[in-house]
Amino acid sequence: MIGNLQPFNELINKMKTSPKKIIFTGSTDERILEAASRLLASNFLKPILVGDEEEILGKAEKEGFNIRGAEIIDFNKFDKLDEMLDSFLEIRKGKGLTRDDARRLLAENDNYFGLMLVEMGYADALLGSQKYSMAETMVPAFKVFKTKPGHKIATSCSVLVRPYATGGDEVIVMGDCTVHITPNPEELAEIGTNMAEFGVKFGIEPHVAFLSYSTLGSGKGEDVDKMREAAAIAKKNAPEYAIDGEIQFDAAVSPVVARIKCKGSDVAGRANTFVFPDLNAGNIGYKVANRLGNFSTYGPVILGLSKPANFMTRGANADQTYVLAIITAAQSEWL
């Protein structure tokens, strides 16, 4: 059963007035099939499954998922392949690709095929399946969609949700937990502002903390300097958001600690958007929150692309697939 959807109801309600279409790749995966079945019963998001129709329908019947009425697009039967190849070669112009190379890429990795379906207007967004690695989904997305105007890089975040004991839900955003291994200060600043922008669209008032082992000069070192510089760049580039750093995690989230370590900060003690210094820390951090903090996690959500494309991690379940499909489709409203 799908769990708590309260934090996503506003996204769902907005899409009801303008229903979206989303491409799923790896469509024989039972988590994709379950999510597609649920979406087919809704009135706000239409799934389009990529792959062999007989294979997909057979797997759905075997697993007990009703996907009657689902649109299925098979590369081998696609009647506008020549038009797609022309478009793909234009996008990749100057990269030395032949027409045969393009056909092979589209045939061998259905993420390329699915991304081009979005590019050609068959759908609004793409969600890659768990059968692919991050590189097998995101590298094609970066090549086909590229970054949107005003963005130098594409970044990622994870959305974490936990119910308050008194009612309602705590929603936080963490990044970059997936894409950039050792981001420099400029990249970290863009990670932070991308997440703040996403948070606003998601209904969060962002308070962005650039995390470190130091709080506003209490520690020394290159890593501290990097986060301090990143926070300064982010403040300059996006003065409309509450941003602070470098800051330790306890000072970022605890009002008591904040009063001791950084009294007067707009962020300390109430941060809800967390920028990690590198991929190592970010990936560990959001998984600690998930496993020990009882947060449900959704993502990664890729930010900064000209069109929405996300992918499911190997450990994701059908609930996470369903929710990430909602987030992914909603991103098409914001671009």
179 plus 77 within the same structural domain: no
184-188, 225-229, 291-295, range with the lowest pLDDT = 291-295
Q: Could you tell me the pLDDT band of residue 3, with boundaries at 50, 70 and 90?
A: low
Same domain, 167 and 141: no
Do 140 and 29 sit in the same domain of this protein? yes
The per-residue pLDDT for range 10-44, each reduced to its tens digit, is 899 989 999 999 999 999 999 999 999 999 999 89
Residues 226 and 109 in one domain: no
Domain region containing 112:
6-146+306-334
144-159 average pLDDT score: 93
Q: Which of the four pLDDT bands, split at 50, 70 and 90, describes residue 136? A: confident
Q: Is residue 297 part of a domain?
A: no
Find the mean pLDDT for residues 232-249: 98
263-290 mean pLDDT? 96
In the numeric block, the tokens 């990670």 are attached to 191
Report the half-sphere exposure of 263 (CA within 13 A, side-chain side). 2
| Total of domains in the chain | 2
Tell me whether residue 301 is in a domain: no
Is the same domain home to 283 and 326? no
Does 299 reside within a domain?
Answer: no
Measure the CA–CA gap between 234 and 249, rounded to whole angstroms: 18
User: Quick check: is 250 in a domain?
Assistant: yes
Based on the domain organization, do 273 and 321 belong to the same domain? Answer: no
Q: Is 205 inside a domain boundary?
A: yes
Residue 105 pLDDT = 93
Distance CA 214, CA 219 (A): 5
pTM exceeds cut of 0.85:
yes
Q: Identify the burial level of 331 via C-beta atoms within 10 angstroms of its C-beta, where 0-12 means exposed, 13-18 middle and 19 or more buried.
A: buried
Burial category of 32 from C-beta neighbours within 10 Å (exposed 0-12, middle 13-18, buried 19 and up):
buried
